[in-house]
Amino acid sequence: MVFMHPDDARERLLMDGELAWVYGPRRHELAVVRVDDEMRLGDVMLRDVVGASPSEIVRVIKPDLDSRGRRGALA
């Protein structure tokens, strides 16, 4: 789970309860977004995310579910 300020979530087009990619220095995984008014702007709080330690910088990104990636067209 990733807790973030409402303005940060809005900037990333994320809503409360939505899934987002959390990229840490060693790995990335999906986490549920929780919007929290008490968070400081620019800070995030992680819970149950294995790929990051408390002092490390992480990126929170909305998954692109519209593009199909590297797959070819269906025949």
Q: Does residue 74 fall inside a structural domain?
A: no
pLDDT in tens, the chain (75 residues): 999 999 999 999 999 999 999 998 889 999 999 999 999 999 999 998 887 888 889 999 999 877 766 665 554
**Residue 71 covered by a domain:** no
Among 51, 66, 49, CA closest to 4: 49
Domain with residue 20: its CATH number is: 2.40.40.20
Q: Please check whether residue 75 lies inside any domain of the structure.
A: no
Q: What is the pTM of this model?
A: 0.80
Query: Which range marks the domain in which residue 41 is found?
Result: 2-61
- 20 neighbors 61 (Cβ within 8 angstroms): yes
Q: Give the chain's domain count.
A: 1
Contacts of 34 (CB under 8 A, 6+ apart): 1, 2, 3, 4, 16, 17
**Letter for the amino acid at 12?**
R
